[in-house]
């Protein structure tokens, strides 16, 4: 079993569900991870000029918005110039699970996820 290191970063618009990592697509360039992935790091940073709140969660692609969310952090305050370790321990991502984020202020919060894909 070989693992491929993967890092992804994204900034979101206000209150818009935005994909941070999609376990159903070609993330590493070698196809979708057939045996899932291990999330080893998840950091949210306020890169804007206003305080914001951030919500980060995972959900299977089979579930629609509002059903089946598993939160790593919900409505956490994020002051200007600060960052937040949103993952206190490693998280297993099954094939087809997607990590999403929402922020209270547009273009203010950037999330970086570090993973090992199988």
Residue 51, domain CATH: 2.60.120.340
Measured CA to CA, the distance from residue 108 to residue 118 in angstroms comes to 32
Q: Write the pLDDT tens digit of every residue in 6-18.
A: 777 888 878 889 9
Q: What is the pLDDT of residue 105?
A: 94
Q: Residue 1: is its pLDDT beyond 50?
A: no
Q: What is the dihedral of CA 3, 68, 76, 108, to 10 degrees?
A: 70
Average pLDDT, the chain: 84
For residues 5 and 112, which has the higher predicted lDDT (pLDDT)? Answer: 112
83-85 and 91-93 beta bridge pairing: unpaired
- Closest to 70 (Cα-Cα) out of 94, 52, 46, 53: 94
* Domain assignment of residue 104, given as a range: 4-117
What percent of the chain stands above pLDDT 70?
88
The position carrying tokens 């998280």 is 91
What pLDDT is attached to residue 26?
52
Give the chain's domain count.
1
């Amino acid at each position: 079993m070989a693992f491929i290191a993967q890092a992804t970063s994204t900034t979101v618009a206000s209150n818009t569900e935005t994909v941070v990592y999609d376990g159903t697509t070609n993330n590493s360039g070698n196809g979708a991870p057939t045996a899932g992935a291990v999330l080893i790091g998840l950091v949210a940073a306020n890169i804007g000029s206003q305080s914001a709140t951030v919500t980060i969660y995972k959900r299977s692609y089979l579930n629609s918005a509002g059903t089946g969310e598993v939160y790593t952090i919900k409505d956490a305050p994020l002051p200007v110039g600060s960052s937040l370790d949103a993952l206190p321990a490693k998280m297993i991502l099954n094939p087809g699970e997607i990590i999403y984020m929402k922020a209270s202020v547009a273009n203010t919060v950037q999330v970086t996820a570090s993973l090992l894909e199988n």
